[in-house]
Amino acid sequence: MKNAKGIWYVIGNRKNAGKTTLANFMAGLARKNAVKIGRSTCGRDGEHFDAFTGEPKPLVTLEAGDIAVTYETELKRLGDAARNVYRLPYSTVLGRLFCIQALSIFSCEILGPDTNSELINTTNILISLGCDLVVIDGSFARRTQLATPGSPHVVLVIAADMGEEQAVADARFAAKVFDLPIATNELEHHDAVVFSSPLTDRLCLELIQSIHKRPLILQAPTSVFCSEQLFDQLRESSGGIYVNMPSILEFFATNPMKHSPDKILEAVAKAGNRPVIDVLYEKEVAP
């Protein structure tokens, strides 16, 4: 991970799983390796308290040279600590969005655009501004925004306080989904079903009854919103499940806290067949 470059999305298996903490950790590693960092989000991050739950949230820390997306009020609040480097053509309920560059160390709020196309364009702008690594704090509920061209890298943060059994189940299911094969032109000769909507439990049940061994082509791995049980049934009923726009699930991250770190890290790594990073202890466990 210390040599990570390109576009990286950080998602969680539930809200407040630790995505921002991992994004901060990745940014720190990037700086140590002289990699220019860009930060964005699928929602709003860096505020002191969650707008819905009222719980404290980790701050987003920027250092001199970092570039991030925020809104006009935050840009004005930062004053001489940051400069505007690009006025984005997008607005949210909190106002116009800007790409800012940090001139010193500070914490701030970052805010992302509302649609997939706007997020893709914003990411491309961050790269054009010289960012070698763009880390996007992804919303679990809005993970369809990860469906972007170019096979972006994905990290799944697993909230270990849900227990080892749930953590292992989430890692196993994520591996199944992100390892789906890429659709090819040959599938057209097999009367493939092309599905652009999110795959929910209800739609999964409908497809199980109607697909009759035809291949199913999804937009991306992040279009899957159904349960693992229904997903497995659909794979059995169909002629295979494929994706048009793959994403690369690189590794998992977790913060076991009161749980046995080694035990849960090893279990998650084995279930998902990927390395696991423990941000709390700054260590990696291989599958």
How is the chain split among helix, strand and coil, in percent rounded to 5?
Answer: 35, 30, 35
Q: Are residues 167 and 237 in the same domain?
A: no
Judgement on whether residues 48 and 163 belong to the same structural domain of the protein: yes
Position 55 scores a pLDDT of: 78
Q: Do 61 and 157 belong together in one domain?
A: yes
Q: Is residue 258 part of a domain?
A: yes
Give SS3 for 220: coil
Q: Considering 227, 243, 259, which residue would you say is the last residue of a domain?
A: 243
* Separation CA 43–CA 111 (nearest Å): 6
For residue 259, give its domain range.
6-172+246-285
134 and 77 in one domain?
yes
Q: How far is residue 38 from each of residues 5, 100, 112, 214, 279, measured CA to CA in Å?
A: 11, 10, 12, 42, 20
In a domain, 261, yes or no: yes
Instruction: Verify that 159 and 215 share a domain, yes or no.
Output: no
Q: How far apart are CA 101 and CA 184, in angstroms?
A: 42
- Are 141 and 69 in a shared domain? yes
Q: How confident is the model at residue 147 (pLDDT cuts 50, 70, 90)?
A: low
pLDDT of 123 reads: 93
122 and 189 both lie in a single domain: no
Q: Is residue 227 part of a domain?
A: yes
Higher pLDDT, 263 or 143: 263
What stretch of H or E contains 218? strand 216-218
28-42: per-residue pLDDT in tens?
999 999 999 999 998
List the one residue out of 60, 56, 16, 54 whose CA is nearest residue 40.
60
Residues 72 and 56 in one domain: yes
Indicate if 236 and 149 belong to the same structural domain.
no
User: What CATH number did the domain enclosing 278 receive?
Assistant: 3.40.50
Return the residue matching tokens 């009020």.
73
User: Does the pLDDT value for residue 22 go beyond 70?
Assistant: yes
For residues 263 and 223, state if they share a domain. no
pLDDT at position 145: 55
Residues 6+ apart with CB under 8 A from 106: 61, 62, 78, 81, 82
Q: Is residue 63 part of a domain?
A: yes
**255 vs 21, 44, 119, 252, CA distance in Å?**
10, 22, 28, 10
Q: Is the pLDDT of residue 173 over 90?
A: yes
Question: Does 140 share its domain with 235?
Answer: no
The total number of structural domains in the chain stands at 2
For the chain, what is the mean pLDDT? 88
pLDDT at 144 (0 to 100): 52
Specify whether 19 is located in the same domain as 143.
yes
What tens digit of pLDDT does each residue of 218-277 get?
988 988 999 999 999 999 999 999 999 888 999 999 876 666 678 888 999 999 999 999
Q: What is the pLDDT of residues 58-114, one digit of tens each?
A: 899 999 999 999 999 999 999 999 999 999 999 999 999 999 999 999 999 999 998
For residue 155, tell me if it sits in a domain. yes
Residue 1 is assigned to a structural domain of this protein: no
SS3 of residue 61 by DSSP: strand
Indicate the pTM of the whole model.
0.87
